Amino acid sequence: MGENIFMELSLIVIITAVIAGIFRVLKQPIIIAYIASGILLSSYGLNIVTAHDAIGAFSQFGIAFLLFMVGINLNPQIIRDVGKVSVITGLGQIFFTSVIGFFIAEAFGFNGIESAYIAIALTFSSTIVIMKLLSDKKDLESVYGRISVGFLIVQDIVAMLILMIVSSSAGGGSVMETIAEAVIKGSLLITGVVVIGTYVLPHIIKRMANQQELLLLFCIAWCFALASVFNFFGFSIEIGALLAGISLSTSSYRYEISSRIKTLRDFFILMFFVFLGTQMEFGNFSEFILPVIAFSIFILIGNPLIVMVLMGLLGYTKRTGFLAGLTVAQISEFSLILVALGVKMGHLDTKILSFVTIVGLITIGGSTYFIMYGKKIYQLISKYLDVFERKEGKKDEHKYSSHGDYEVLILGYNHVGSTLAKTMNKLKKQFLVIDFNPETVIKLVQQKIDCRYGDVEDADIFEDIDFNKVKLVVSSVKDFEINVSIIKRVLARNKDCIIMVVSESVDDAVQLYEQGASYVIMPHFIGGHHTSTIIESHGFDIKKFMSEKIKHLEELKV
């Protein structure tokens, strides 16, 4: 029996690896590959899966690890950093999506309970998918990235509360009694977790930090212990695992814990989504074709519109609202977990799980492309989005400049940009820094450096700059396509302007020169040349190197 299960699991992993590779080429989230693998392995495909109990058990571990990891990265303090816009947008999007979704579901003939589950499930967006995509695009520090992360956290907190209520409803009774009982028991349990997490866990974690294996084992035990305690009191294991993670979210060792558990999570979550795929039913799926299309369009287009309206009313630019709106154009792992829990509790039929999973596949796939190419899409349709933007001053359109005539534009205030700014100050040249990180802009304001918040990919960023006066543009951005776009836009306004860009590839550097760059900065070449110069100058004199070290440290601290 054990050997049969081992062989079956081996086949599942091998087949899933192949399908995941295909989806990687298509630039799709791996979650979709897992679900697609489950469908292929089910009775609708290869019909390989027979050890449903074993795989189901593995899937439970997957859910626990997934939510434990979400909890570790779900630091509520982030909400305070991004301000009220995340709370208002997060709660507003949940409200409007759920209300509209409920009426759409009822219009398609779903009963009250099914409509409520569907409407609520479709309000949540995938924190894991969005965080990965924003990280890959290096947009986590942008204004829209910070706001998106903020309202995703708000959604996750609301999802946690809903899961608590649903998981405690197995005992029957009226809705109000169920909610009241869930609130009382949940409050007591959460209070206990907070007390332990504040006064006990930090001391235990600190003592175990030097023994990596013991630290990993303790964190897993803490996750499973809380999951079991919450399950014992009538809640789901998902809630316990999530709270176990949240209790460690403020620990100074959370990154180390997260990195060590990530591999375990990745394996077991594979089993959860594969198992989910095997549970899908397509026997009567023809009756769901129109609802699937309607809800997919609603999530892909309706959700972003809701966010754009809310952010426009709060005073943000149409660009920030549009890019933030794209991050809610899909449903979440919580959506699937909530509906799966509803099936387990006897509230829903498995066909509803299949329906929501198909909507998930479509929206996660579609929104991935939306987010990846969001800035290009914005450039195409920006002129039609004026209705989502206030005409007066906007909260995210920061311009701190004493005049409009500049000889030098510095695009991106990283190591290259900051060094150039110092040089321009020494030369007493009028220069403007453009950067997409709001914290960087604030620091520049404090240093009384002319600056503005903006993304160099935005065609509007140069609109009010008089390029007849600009003699030099330096881009410290490393992206090849962005630099090509900058070169074309600058040359279209001033063909005599000197343009310097950064590249880490020899081939890209050659192409940038062909596009019109005056000089391509290659950090590795410059670094190698500088290192060689120092060695030629100092030889093997340790005292001279120590002097160079002190000088360099002073420069780094400025």
% of the chain exceeding 90 in pLDDT: 7
pLDDT for the residue numbered 301:
93
Which of the four pLDDT bands, split at 50, 70 and 90, describes residue 104?
very high
Q: What confidence category does residue 525 fall into, taking pLDDT thresholds of 50, 70 and 90? A: confident
Contacts of residue 500, defined as CB under 8 A and 6 or more positions apart, other chains included, come to: 472, 473, 474, 475, 517, 518, 519, 520, 521
pLDDT of residue 102: 93
Share of the chain above pLDDT 70, in %: 88
Q: What is the mean pLDDT of the chain?
A: 80
- Report, in angstroms and rounded to the nearest whole number, the Rg of the chain calculated over CA atoms: 27
- Surface-to-core class of residue 374, CB atoms within 10 Å of its CB (0-12 exposed, 13-18 middle, 19+ buried): buried
pLDDT over 60 (residue 307): yes
Q: How many CB atoms lie within 10 A of CB 492?
A: 10
Q: Kindly tell me if the per-residue pLDDT of 2 is higher than 60.
A: no
Contact present, 278 and 59 (Cβ < 8 Å) = no
Residue 258: predicted pLDDT: 78
pLDDT value of residue 168: 64
Report pLDDT for 558: 55
Helix (H, G, I), strand (E, B) or coil at 451: strand
> Pairing mode, if any, of strands 451-453 and 399-400?
antiparallel
Q: Please report the pLDDT score of residue 296 as a whole number.
A: 92
pLDDT at 28: 74
Higher-pLDDT residue of 178, 349: 349
Domains (range + CATH), the chain:
2-388 (1.20.1530.20), 399-521 (3.40.50.720)
- CB-side neighbour CA atoms (13 Å) of 391: 0
The residue with greater pLDDT, 538 or 514, is 514
Residue that is written with structure tokens 């959604």 in the block: 155
pLDDT tens-digit series, residues 324-338: 899 889 888 778 788
pLDDT band at 300 (very low <50, low <70, confident <90, very high): very high
pLDDT at 1: 52
Instruction: Kindly tell me the number of DSSP H helices and DSSP E strands found in the chain.
Output: 25, 7
- CA atoms within 13 A of residue 221's CA, in its CB half-sphere: 9
Does pLDDT of 173 surpass 60? no
pLDDT at position 172 over 80: no
Average pLDDT of the segment spanning 186-191:
82
In the predicted model, what is the mean pLDDT of residues 311-340? 85
Note the pLDDT tens digit of each residue in 274-299: 877 776 666 666 778 899 999 999 99
Confidence of residue 188 (pLDDT cuts 50, 70, 90): confident
pLDDT of 128 reads: 67
Whether the Cβ atoms of residue 419 and residue 426 lie closer than 8 Å to each other: no
Residue 271 has pLDDT above 90, yes or no: no
- Residues 493, 304: Cα–Cα separation, whole Å: 34
d(CA 331, CA 338): 11
Q: Is the pLDDT score of 501 beyond 80? A: yes
Q: Which of the residue ranges 79-83, 254-258, 382-386 would you say has the lowest mean pLDDT?
A: 79-83
The token duo for 249 is 């979210």
- The pLDDT assigned to 170 comes to 55
- Give the integer Cα–Cα distance in Å for 69 and 254: 10
Note the pLDDT tens digit of each residue in 122-171: 888 877 677 767 766 777 667 788 788 778 777 877 887 787 777 666 55
Tell which residue, 482, 478, 517, 483, has the closest CA to residue 497. 517
Question: For residue 304, what pLDDT is reported?
Answer: 92
- Residue 269 banded pLDDT, cuts 50, 70, 90: confident
